[in-house]
Amino acid sequence: MSSIDGIDVVFVAGPPGAGKTTVTEEYEKSNPAAVQFGTGDLMRGIREGCIDSKYSTILREASERRLPVPSDIFSMVVREQIIRTADTAETVMVTGFPYGHSDWKFFKDTISDEGIKPIGAVVLNIGMDISVTRMNERDIKKGADVKVVYSSKEHLAYEERYQMLIGRLAIRLDCYRQLGLSIMPVFAERPLVEVCADFNKAIDTLKEKKKYNE
């Protein structure tokens, strides 16, 4: 059993296709006291009724009215999910957070009251060409038309998406630095086994830094 102030919260970031979900799920499999969640999947699960949350009504109404999720609610949902892990987890890996500085401000202003103490972030790095290729492959697996995916028009759209999300990544890194978090880079343009090994080392390093600073 864990208490909330004993949980190691690690943010995982990177461009689309960097393997954030894959490496965190692999870490979860080999570490029974670790859990991971992506904020995008979390929000969808709550809206669709698959995940219980006291913010479900607000999220469903925002979705039905096609309104953005308020920054404070977005942050509260992430905090709620972290707190839920207190009885079973020692390490929580969060991907896709924050969306922007306003989300981070609400999160930063409230976590100290709950005893939530993030220990750092791991950033998976890949270039645009690899990112676009992996986005193509992912969409094809989901049933997208191959000819459309590999058309010149769609290629430009994928590149624009990469650039947009790189901008969001820069915001996330700035937010992590605001809280004084250590940021561990992992080069992700390699076989999965190598990336996972370095990802595990990065989390171990963050945990060691936490012990040193206690």
- Amino acid identity at 59: L
Vertex 183, ends 181 and 187: CA angle to 5°? Answer: 165
φ, ψ at 2 (rounded to 5°): -120, 160
Contacts of 148 (CB under 8 A, 6+ apart): 154
Reported pTM = 0.91
Query: pLDDT of the chain along its 214 residues, tens only?
Result: 456 767 899 999 999 999 999 999 999 999 999 999 999 999 999 999 999 999 999 999 988 998 888 889 999 999 999 998 877 889 999 999 999 999 999 998 888 777 788 999 999 999 999 999 999 999 999 999 999 989 999 999 999 999 999 999 999 999 999 999 999 999 999 999 999 999 999 999 999 988 777 6
Taking the C-alpha atoms of residue 1 and residue 18, their distance in angstroms, rounded to an integer, is: 32
Taking the C-alpha atoms of residue 8 and residue 89, their distance in angstroms, rounded to an integer, is: 9
Domain ranges of the chain: 4-205
CATH architecture of 4-205: 3-Layer(aba) Sandwich (3.40)
Taking the C-alpha atoms of residue 165 and residue 173, their distance in angstroms, rounded to an integer, is: 12
Taking the C-alpha atoms of residue 137 and residue 132, their distance in angstroms, rounded to an integer, is: 9
Taking the C-alpha atoms of residue 18 and residue 80, their distance in angstroms, rounded to an integer, is: 27
